[in-house]
Structure 1
Amino acid sequence: MCSDVTTPSDSGPDYKSTLNLPKTDFPMRAGLPKREPEWLKRWEDIGVYDRLRESGKTEGRTPFVLHDGPPYANGHLHIGHALNKTIKDIIVRSHQMMGFDARYVPGWDCHGLPIEWKIEEKYRQKGKNKDDVPVIDFRQECRAFAAEWIDVQRAEFKRLGITGNWADPYLTMDFHAEAVIADEFMKFLMNGTLYQGSKPVMWSPVEKTALAEAEIEYHDHKSHTIWVPFKVVSGAEGDLAEARVVIWTTTPWTIPSNKAVAFNPKIAYGLYRVDATEEESWTAPGELYLFADALAEDALGKSRVTEFTKVRDVSADELGALTLAHPFAGIEGADGFWDYDVPMIDGDHVTDEAGTGFVHTAPSHGADDYECFVKRNWIDRMTHNVGEDSEFLPHVPFFADQRVIDHKGKEGKANTAVIAKLVEAGGIIARGRVTHSYPHSWRSKAPVIFRNTPQWFASVDRKIDDGMGEYGDTIRSRALTSIDKLVKWHPQTGRNRLYSMIESRPDWVLSRQRAWGVPLTCFTKVGALPTDPDFLLRNADLNARITAAFEDHGADVWYEDGFKEKMLDGIADPAAYDQVFDVLDVWFDSGSTHAFVLRDREDGTPDGIADVYLEGTDQHRGWFHSSLLQACGTKGRAPYKNVVTHGFTLDEKGMKMSKSLGNTIVPEKIIQQYGADIARLWVAQVDYTADQRIGPEILKGVADSYRRLRNTMRYMLGSLADFSEADRVDAADMPELEQWVLHRLAELDEQVREGYKTFDFSGVWTAVFNFATVDLSAFYFDIRKDALYCDGDTARRRAARTVLDILYHRITRWLAPILTFTMEEVWLERFDGTDASIHLEDFVETPAAWKNAELAAKWSAIRKTRRVVTAALEIQRQDKVIGASLEAAPVVHVEDAAVRDLLATVDFDDLCITSAINVTGDPAPSEAFRLPETAGVAVVFEKAEGEKCQRCWKILPDVGQHSHADVCGRCDEALD
């Protein structure tokens, strides 16, 4: 085979200048960190994104819209942002190149607590009180903060090579967006799903607001545990009348709000007598207690009971008939505050896995507790004992002002105060501490509590008569139908996760007690109850006025003096109505984006439905979830056709990234060291549907793969120097080896298109990379290097160059969505016009006729035999018997006559890169080289006979017998 460097003999001529060596300015070293910004500027200068949109109109392309789930406008990008946006970019670019008009409008979430929290921190540092600042001024500071970070993040996203309408992104704080969000909210007002209720919600005492499930994360938390006996006061006779029902709780502070004790009829219960105790115990011999049988021994052991007897079984009917007394009933100084009956109620949520088998029920402080009371229509028994600071309110005896959580997120004194009072009242038989998973705010990282507060809800089960009932007449039924019938899930596990969430979710808490957001644009009648039909003012003209005012002036106008009066003028008496000043959950903002982005923008979709929503798996309870609920309430179905989810990014050891551990990887650092294309290639290599890992060693591996691919592209560019249409050869006139490459291309074209269509980028990359490095570099290029360098203007060389051109046009395009910068560089090496860009190109159509299964089968057999030969020669090279394979002329023993016939139809010595080869059916000697996986093939090494051609380096008998000195016949013709 020819070498890139030819060393002439001492006396012979130098033939190096006669070789067709590769010519290219494409550098081996990419220099991406320095060069990528030049391409970014170029794309902006020539207007690539806008030109694609214009061509989409003129060519009548089918729109394809990936709707951006808005990141939050605060802080620099982390590696999760890079993963997310790069996946989106690959989807958008690949679909554009597959013939769609692939539009991408980036967006940002701008309202909400995190930004408000930052402004409050700034106030606290200056000794300033937020409540002393006019609300509109405060909101303007929040708006400015968001705008500043949007500019920062936009630049960082663009540096990653993300294409999109960066000049006109969507922002939830834009006036039009705020107007549409308010309008979408008022659709809930008008269709009857909006209501004000009093129920327990997750409440952050630190942030002083209700939180949605999507704003919660779970961390280990050490809680008090207490075992509390409730005396039986009625409903029993005999020994049962003397018994006490024991509950177990990890929230002692909720005991003052107890209103019932729950049991499960499916659990076995018993009456237990204490026979003996340790010296110090809150129980005494002879006392009778009720427990679930499975938990009695453990509970009694916790109360230091050393001997006990099960007196008898207790049936569910007996338990259901009992009435209990509150542990604080009759306590001195409480003025009868707890002197009420505590019923026993059945509940499926009760288990015998931990505790006592009985559940203390405080309907104002627990979801299951609340549902038990709703089921019995006992809402009037709710308590309002805890305020927004998690403090007991003044009317609660003994505990007024004691806080569950203090302003720093630490435990307050409420738990210990309640425990101390229970001990004093004889209302406790054991106590302890337990570490368990507990909900925390994902912003303040502080524990939350369940607290009964007046909030605004969207009912997921109220019937909606809005003429959009094709998929159901409630939000829940529409959502479940959408999940099953209208949406494709990638991966399918996403469907199961979201379906189960929607199936069991409670009503949506829409309100937040904050300032920076879109207000709940509604009015309530003074003196009316939430259950009254006229409690809410429902008026279409009023809604239109509010929407128009927001469109012109933004949501700040809601807080201007006299706004209520202006809006209600001629519609209702302003004095008869109160204006609501809660703000909407930010998930309602982002859930409404289908309306003000997809529906209202020219680059959206006519039906307001996106082809793809893509975010991390946490968004099954976040953006996917809220968008689904919101759209089902206002448009009757899901706003997306496909939902793609990715996992979380971990370090190389599989650990969560943390600044304290020092294992974070920042996109900016990757770009500075390697370039954005390496970050993009990492995204394409991983299975993003699961959690993925990244770190220095992984990035080195990615960079190595990149270098190998880059060298493949460089080789093609060099070999295609000066290639013109005059050199092109029809596929039918090509040698079989080139036809086999075309067959592989046809196979690969189908695989690449299907991979991009189904968002399987690791599949695309693996297929193309393996083809480039195994089929091309290690096989086809290795074989054809000799013809490309040493042949004259032969049909074989023209065919090889034609195939290289075909390969170039496909691989460059196929990988452009992934290696955005590098494939632009490759493209401009050949097409360097002022307006040229790979990103203005489409995938090339590949003729179906190129597929040839019969040819593929033949060459599969040839390659298997070749592998035995190359492996045998490699051993000779390692043993320094030969320096290169051209020094060999092996004998290949092939048992299968059919395979020998195949080998006879090709230049097998060229395929094996030897100077000669002898294929025989004779039995192979025992010392012949064999590969276990290729039966019936054996190789005996022989050295090539003749002299070394000083031009192509083959060792042949005819060297020196031609007009040009020291060359073979083929090279002699080429020199002529």
Structure 2
Amino acid sequence: MTETTDKQDYSSTLYLPQTEFPMRAGLPQKEPELVERWKKMDLYKRLRASAAGREKFVLHDGPPYANGNIHIGHALNKILKDVITRSFQMRGFDSNYVPGWDCHGLPIEWKIEEKYREKGKNKDEVPVNEFRKECRDFASGWIKVQAEEFRRLGIEGDFDNPYTTMNFHAEARIAGELLKIAKSGQLYRGSKPVMWSVVERTALAEAEVEYAEVESDTIWVKFPVGGAGSLSDAFVVIWTTTPWTIPGNRAISFSSKIGYGLYEVTAAANEFGPQPGEKLIFADKLAAECFAKAKLEFTRLRDVKAEELAAITCAHPLKGLAGGYDFAVPLLDGDHVTDDAGTGFVHTAPGHGREDFDAWMANARELEARGISSKIPFTVGDDGFYTEDAPGFGPSAEGGAARVMDDNGKKGDANKRVIEALIAANTLFARGRIKHEYPHSWRSKKPVIFRNTPQWFVTMDKDFGDGSTLRSRALSAIDDTRFVPAGGQNRLRAMIENRPDWVLSRQRAWGVPIAIFADEKGEILVDDAVNARIIAAFEAEGADAWFAEGAKERFLAGRDDQDRWTMVKDILDVWFDSGSTHTFTLEDRPDLKWPADVYLEGSDQHRGWFHSSLLESCATRGRAPYKAVVTHGFTMDEQGRKMSKSLGNTVVPQDVMAQSGADILRLWVMNTDYGEDQRLGKTILQTNIDAYRKIRNTIRWMLGTLAHDTGDAFAYADLPDLEKLMLNRLAELDRLVREGYDAFDFKRITRALTDFANVELSAFYFDIRKDALYCDAPSSARRRAALYVIRKLFDCIVLWFAPMLPFTTEEAWLSRNPQAESVHLEQFPTIPAEWLNPALDEKWVKIRKVRSVVTGALEVERKDKRIGSSLEAAPVVHVADAALLAALDGVDMAEICITSAISVVKGEGPAEAFRLPEVAGVAVEPKLAEGRKCARSWRITPDVGSDPDYPEVSARDAAALRELAAVQG
């Protein structure tokens, strides 16, 4: 070859990466194309066909509510579910995901009512089934919207055949589950205080309320002691934050574990209220505080024993008002009474509180024996107005009925009128204001009240006949369930241990009715033929059949006692609907199984879906419908504040997908400790975008390099140690990835794979092997071995990431395998046992320690501008540590350190040599490489120009060029 003065461009002779996989992802444009591709190829059915005959793994979808666009909580939830189902599908299971929707209930009904009000229509004037059809249509519309939004997130499932609670078969099964409970004797009609929404005109369960701070009136009230005993001229003083419940008072609770005293007022600063000479009974611990509230001075007269308190009765503080309240108010010993706040006495209105009700009912028989009626009054109606059971405040009172709360959730005049009546009766001790947490409907966001109403309940503590109760069954099932995080078990257990009977009835129109017949006494008709007709009608026509004209006669056909029975028109609690989903999905669909392997929802579902599903299944099947419960927290903004439109700190998943892509959102989910509350905002999103770019660039480099892959196979024994080291890391990662997916620990997987890609591949293995991959001859065993290992690296990384980043991995897989159908139809790679080589790993830990000292020394040289790149160096490495020196035996350290040459010398090295404190026994003398710079590989070697045909390159590169020329003809 004739030498010329012009330098030749050797770039075309290098095996440089070549790929159409773009560096800029363009996810907002690419992802919708892939969604449409998956729809067109019917990926869901392909997945089912490919998994036929495998063991099933079932994650049962907790149904979102069909009434609006999805929010960031939906995105978090669905992404976690999708990653779980995909990961099991790719590990040899038939992991079918069936999405579902909760369709009944108040929020949808409320939306239709709002439309009616805008048009001046009255819901009650519209035929009920016409109204129900509008609710059904409303839910159907939102199901379609949400389904597309979920698919845009990359969620794969049976969106063409989801489950919905308003499906006719579902409604039939829900009704059937209720009939099973009724037949077992666990359903009963009772009169108990329930949380009642005046705004929504329905009872609410604990799962349907949230707590918010309110400011309330608070009063101290004097109850005159009756009889002729030593306390007959005294008053028992109670304290309450709900003055409106005073008309419902029927008892006072005290505790025999608290010390009480009789006190006398010695001076009063107020014109109204207690005056000198009045005697009052208080818990000793609280007396001084109470007297200070009323601006009184006092003296303590004596102890008041529990026996004295139990023996007395009081008069009602409103006695005589409108001719009412002329009954004795007994004192009841109760464990719920404390002396932490108040007076040490608890105003007991059994129609307005669970503890009040329990205390009253526990003493009902004894009270009746004492001539005290145990009847509980209904003092407040469903509209929040007092009834005639509240003399002086009901409809016949002067000025009409007082109201506790109006239709907008605003405080009525009840408190004011009760307080005025107490002042007039000289039974108000003191008054004030207090801020405290109070229950609100989570739908209307308005306060609720506690009121005694007839409702249908499932008992928690009635024996099934086998020695078990619903409570004991549920607690046993909790013990048999795996919880992730583990703390969820104690949380759910505490709720089940302390919960009251399950109130099922709602006074609404949209939902599955409590499809039973009952008589005046509350006895339920148990007739298998009637039940069969109900279920068959629901199956064919939906629950609308219950409200159709002539329904009673249709269902009771053939019975001669039809007049005895009344159709219950209350609607089932929607939590019963969702708690029954396991029946018409897991049990009834042949592509699923019962029980589910896992339920996954937010932590609020310990009192919601986890809870209701557990109770429903334990009531009808004796065990939980799930084997494991996985819980995630809530998404906060970057400052840890709750997201809200008013603060302007919400992150909308649709916006993130439009700007950055769904895979960015998915990567954020994978990088969170989802079991706790997570944070999200612009900065956190950008962090995940940066992390994504590094992952993508690693995949892109592998794709580009594999453009030159000849598909050679290598026996493990024939591979260089560096390639064996990478295979060892794949074997280690394979175990970590599989264990991580089993443990639902996605952050551990993501961190391990990201670190592997960035640190061990891009910054170590790829960096070392680029010279051989780009410059070695076509026949080079070193180059071909590296390509073989990169092929394995690509397959493993893309397949392991596929459940997490379905769009990016699909794009990469199809770029590498144009004839493939989808990466999601693949299985995780099988890792040969021989790849796991701990001894080799230990050796390379030592080699990399030495490398780190060399790299540190060269960085100083580069910083001080003595070299431009590491290829200009030929350092001398002094190794005094015998173990480190032995590890370097046979290793080309120049290749490993990416220098043109290197010398390894035994010994400590000169004092001025570079050292790292953390690597003892290694010192590096930086030296410049000798020779000329190869125009092709840029290595500096003495043999550049040794081949006369290729005077600008090293001998290695000259041989490669000659071989390339021969191959190219």
Q: Same fold (TM over 0.5)?
A: yes
Alignment partner, residue 449 of structure 1:
449
| SS of match in other structure, 1:233 | coil
Post-superposition offset of 1:70: 0.4
Match of 2:144 in 1: 151
Is 2:327 the counterpart of 1:340? yes
1:270 alignment partner in structure 2: 261
Equivalence map 1:611-760=2 (5 Å): 611-725=597-711, 727-760=712-745
1:592-637 CA-to-partner distances (Å, cap 9, x unmatched) read: 00111111112221xx311111100000000000000001111111
- Residue 212 of structure 1: CA displacement? 0.7
Match of 2:68 in 1: 75
Query: In the alignment, is the contact (CA less than 8 A) between 2:908 and 2:922 conserved in 1?
Result: no
Contact 1:209–1:513 (CA under 8 A) maintained in structure 2: yes
Q: 2:240 aligns with which of 249, 264, 286?
A: 249
- CA positional deviation for 1:571: 3.0
Structure 1 residue 860, shift from structure 2 partner: 0.7
2:586 counterpart SS class? helix
Q: Is the 8 A contact 1:12 1:965 kept in 2?
A: no
Residue in structure 2 matched with residue 568 of structure 1 by the alignment? 556
Letter of the structure 2 residue corresponding to residue 580 of structure 1: V
Distance 1:624 1:889 in 2: 66
**Offset from partner CA, 1:631-660 (integer Å, 9 cap, x none):** 111111100011000000001111000000
**Distance in 2 between the 1:54 and 1:654 partners?**
45
Check 1:10–1:242 CA distance in 2 against 1; reply closer, same or farther (3 A cut).
farther
Q: Secondary structure at the match of 2:364?
A: coil
Tell me by how many angstroms 1:18 deviates.
Answer: 1.2
Residues 933 and 944 in structure 2, CA contact (< 8 A), matched pair in contact too: yes
> Which segment drifts farther, 504-513 or 322-331?
322-331
Structure-2 residue corresponding to 1:127: 120
Map of 1:305-316 to 2, 5 A cutoff?
305=296, 307-316=297-306
Aligned to 1:24: 19
- 2:487 is aligned with 1:499: no
Letter in 2 for 1:104: Y
**Partners of 2:5 and 2:192 in 1: CA distance:** 97
1:818 equivalent to 2:818? Answer no
* Letter in structure 2 aligned against 1:250: T
Cα distance in 2, alignment partners of residues 911 and 268 from structure 1: 82
Residues 1:796 and 2:782 are matched in the alignment = yes
1:602 aligns with 2:590: yes
Instruction: Report the 3-state secondary structure (helix = DSSP H, G, I; strand = E; otherwise coil) of the residue aligned with 1:433.
Output: strand
- Give the one of 571, 579, 586 matched to 1:591: 579
AA partner of residue 47 (structure 1): D
- Conserved in 1, the CA contact under 8 Å of 2:386 and 2:403? yes
Matched to 1:932, the amino acid is P
Distance 1:571 1:631 in 2: 32
Deviates more, 1:81-90 or 1:933-942: 933-942
Answer yes or no: is 1:939 the counterpart of 2:924. yes
Question: What amino acid does structure 2 have at the position aligned with 1:218?
Answer: Y
**Distance in 2 separating the partners of 1:19 and 1:399:** 95
Instruction: Give the letter for the 1:360 counterpart.
Output: H
1:4 maps to what in 2?
none
SS at match of 1:640: coil
Aligned twin of 1:409: 409
Distance 1:785 1:570, change over 3 A: same
Counterpart amino acid of residue 851 in structure 1:
L
The one-letter amino acid of 1:205's match is: V
8 Å contact 2:325–2:391 — kept in the other structure? no
How many Å apart are 1:481 and its aligned residue? Answer: 0.5
2:398 maps to none
Amino acid at match of 1:600: D
Structure 2 residue aligned with 1:139: 132
Q: What is the CA distance between 1:330 and its match in structure 2? A: 3.3
Query: Contact 1:159–1:676 at 8 Å: present in 2 too?
Result: yes
Q: State the alpha-carbon separation in 2 of the partners of residues 129 and 10 from structure 1.
A: 96
Q: CA deviation at 1:965?
A: 1.1
Cα deviation for residue 292 of structure 1 reads 1.6
- Matched residues in 2 for 1:863 and 1:567: separation? 81
Match of 1:66 among 46, 59, 63: 59
Q: CA deviation at 1:576?
A: 2.1
Query: Offset of 1:272 from its aligned partner?
Result: 2.0
Q: 2:340 aligns with which of 322, 347, 353?
A: 353
Which of 320, 337, 343 matches 1:330? Answer: 320
The answer (yes or no) to whether the contact 2:61–2:100 under 8 Å persists in 1 is yes
Structure-2 residue corresponding to 1:385: 379
Deviation at 1:55, TM superposition (A): 2.3
- Whether the aligned pair in 2 keeps the contact of 1:281 and 1:304 (CA below 8 Å) is no
Cα offset for 1:13? 2.3
Partner of 1:761: 746
Query: Residues 459-608 of structure 1 correspond to what in structure 2 (within 5 A)?
Result: 459-465=459-465, 473-485=468-480, 487-525=481-519, 528-530=520-522, 535-605=523-593, 608=594
* Alignment check: 8 A CA contact 2:273 2:427 kept: no
Structure 2 counterpart SS, 1:248: strand
Structure 2 counterpart of 1:116 = 109
Residue 222 (structure 1) aligns with: 215
1:552-582 CA distance string (max 9 Å, x none): 1111111111111011111343222111100
Deviation at residue 405 of structure 1 after TM alignment: 1.0
Shift of 1:795: 1.2
Alignment gaps of 5+ in structure 2 = 366-372, 395-400, 963-969
Q: Deviations over 1:475-532 (max 9, x none)?
A: 11111001002x110111110000010011111001000000101111112xx423xx
User: Among residues 22, 38, 51, which one is paired with 2:46 in the alignment?
Assistant: 51
Corresponding residue SS for 2:923:
strand
Query: Could you tell me the TM-score, scaled by structure 2's length?
Result: 0.96
Amino acid at match of 1:385: T
Does residue 204 in structure 1 map to residue 197 in structure 2? yes
Structure 2 equivalent of residue 418 of structure 1: 418
Q: 1:180 and 2:173 equivalent?
A: yes
Structural RMSD (CA)? 1.4
Aligned residue for 2:513, secondary structure, equals: coil
- Deviation of 1:892 (Å): 2.0
Distance 1:423 1:557 in 2: 55
- Does the CA-based 8 Å contact 1:498-1:625 persist in structure 2? yes
Deviations 1:127-162 (A, max 9, x none): 111111110110011001001111111111111010
> 1:176 & 1:380 partners in 2: Cα distance?
44
Matched, 1:283 2:277: no
Matches of 1:614 and 1:53 in 2, distance apart? Answer: 22
Cα deviation for residue 933 of structure 1 reads 2.0
Deviation at 1:321, TM superposition (A): 1.8
Change (3 A) 1:61 1:631: same
Instruction: Note the C-alpha offset of 1:879.
Output: 2.2
- Percent of aligned positions with the same letter in both sequences? 58
Q: Contact 1:546–1:567 at 8 Å: present in 2 too?
A: yes
8 Å Cα contact 1:9/1:950 also seen in 2: no
Q: Please tell me whether residue 84 in structure 1 is matched to residue 77 in structure 2.
A: yes
State the distance in 1 between where 2:304 and 2:773 align.
Answer: 92
AA aligned to 2:356 is D
Return the offset for 1:930. 2.2
Pairwise CA distance, 1:875: 2.1
Amino acid at match of 2:130: D
Q: TM-score by structure 1 length?
A: 0.95
Q: Deviation at 1:280?
A: 4.3
Contact 2:248 2:390 in 1 (8 A): no
Residue 12 of structure 1 deviates from its aligned partner by 3.1
Q: How far, CA to CA, are the matches of 1:881 and 1:477 in structure 2? A: 78
Question: Mind listing any 5+ residue stretches in structure 1 that lack a counterpart?
Answer: 1-7
- Match for 1:329: what amino acid? K
Q: Structure 2 vs 1, CA of residues 250 and 41 (structure 1 numbering), >3 Å: closer, same or farther? A: same
Aligned residue number for residue 434 of structure 2: 434
Note if contact 2:173-2:584 (Cα within 8 Å) is conserved in structure 1. Answer: yes
Structure 2 residue 10 is matched with structure 1 residue 15 = yes
Deviations 1:774-818 (A, max 9, x none): 111111111111111111121111111111011111111100000
Q: CA deviation at 1:403?
A: 1.2
Q: 2: CA distance between counterparts of 1:395 and 1:507?
A: 26
**Counterpart Cα distance in 2 of 1:279 and 1:617:** 51
Q: Once structures 1 and 2 are overlaid, which stretch shifts more, 886-895 or 219-228?
A: 886-895
